[in-house]
Amino acid sequence: MRIAILGSAAMSVPPSHQGGTEWIAYYQAKGLAGLGHKITLVSFKGSLPGDYKLIEIGYTYEAKTSADIDEIESSRALRTENVRLAETMGKLAELISDYDLILNNMRGEAVFLPLAKFLGKPLVNVMHLPLFPELANIFKIYNTNIITISNNQRKKFPDLNYLSTVYNCVDTEKYVYNPRPKADYLLMMGTIGRHKNQGAAVRIAKKLGMKLILAGKIRDKEYFEELKKDIDGEQIQWFGELDFGKKVALYQNAKAFLFPIVWEEPFGLVMIEAMACGTPVVAFGNGAIPEVIVNGKTGFVIENNSEEEMAEAVRKIDTIKRQDSRNHVMENFTVEKMVKGYEAALAEIIT
């Protein structure tokens, strides 16, 4: 197959720091190229070359201060990303003879639908984010082929053109299993935001008298200000956005990974990263969580967003065998399994 993979209009593929979709796009490109397919990867500058044709987009203007943009024009980030989407559309038109289908990972997916129709190229959209009514409606208009990353994503819009569900992956050679963690802390990693609900993790850690490490970039500054009153640098610590080695070390040595999210989580890549290292996950059962965690075997799925029940689950976390968490990832969420899932799904479009 000849496939144009649209990676990211915001970050390099793979990302230098935090980023989930970008890693998936990288493994798509690398893995499908490794299976003998001709891949063109269109992504933000700084992306990693490989056995595929890499087309980079993006130009960064270095403002004197963040206030030059953020305080004067709140929509600048959106407009800048739109410029990069336009660059991507131009590359698709320019390279029309190099590919037979488009596999899109970029947010802003709707803008590609009229172009793909005009070019006469089938487009397959990977739903890394939740569906919403306006997007679902335009998918219906264009009869867009959709790959979901969990079955739960389909529930509110069951009548769209779903091609397949392909679960995300983790590189099990990089996320190395650790049977004997060196520390006794709880861990929550991910973007700081109210929907991620780091506050619940803080309250649970304090209730149990356990150390908690929070890590991740700040998306919601107001919410982070609320959290800061409990971040004392000792029992409750915040590490910010981490490099890869530090992130893996934290996963490997945590007693449990907490994930008290209060939104319809599309997948939750951090959960399989933790389990790959042997760390069991305790999560509120929203969105795709029951598809990722085996309740009582690789961690615990907490219903009704109950902090009390999450605390109780942490108390019995030693009943979970770390090897079971690792085995679950090896059986369901490897790079190889994901890539073969994409290959099988895309073959249905070409043949």
Domain boundaries, the chain: 2-169+334-350, 185-332
Instruction: Look at residue 137 in the predicted model and tell me its pLDDT.
Output: 98
User: Which structure tokens are listed for 231?
Assistant: 């971040």
pTM value is 0.93
Instruction: Look at residue 201 in the predicted model and tell me its pLDDT.
Output: 98
Instruction: Look at residue 16 in the predicted model and tell me its pLDDT.
Output: 78
Q: How many CA atoms lie within 13 A of 330 on its CB side?
A: 11
141 SS3 class: helix
Q: Residues in the chain with pLDDT < 70?
A: 18, 60-71
CATH architecture, range 185-332: 3-Layer(aba) Sandwich (3.40)
**Based on the number of CB atoms within 10 Å of its own CB, is 88 exposed (0-12), middle (13-18) or buried (19 or more)?**
buried
Query: 2-169+334-350 and 185-332: same fold?
Result: yes
CB 317 within 8 A of CB 282: yes
299 SS3 class: strand
- Tell me the one-letter amino acid at 83: V
Instruction: Look at residue 70 in the predicted model and tell me its pLDDT.
Output: 58
Instruction: Look at residue 350 in the predicted model and tell me its pLDDT.
Output: 86
Phi, psi of 164 (to 5 degrees): -170, 165
Q: Is CATH 3.10.310.30 what the domain over 2-169+334-350 is classified as, yes or no?
A: no
**Sheet with 254-259, side-by-side order of all strands:** 236-238, 211-215, 185-189, 254-259, 281-284, 299-302
User: Which structure tokens are listed for 45?
Assistant: 């500058």
Instruction: Look at residue 47 in the predicted model and tell me its pLDDT.
Output: 96
Instruction: Look at residue 241 in the predicted model and tell me its pLDDT.
Output: 87
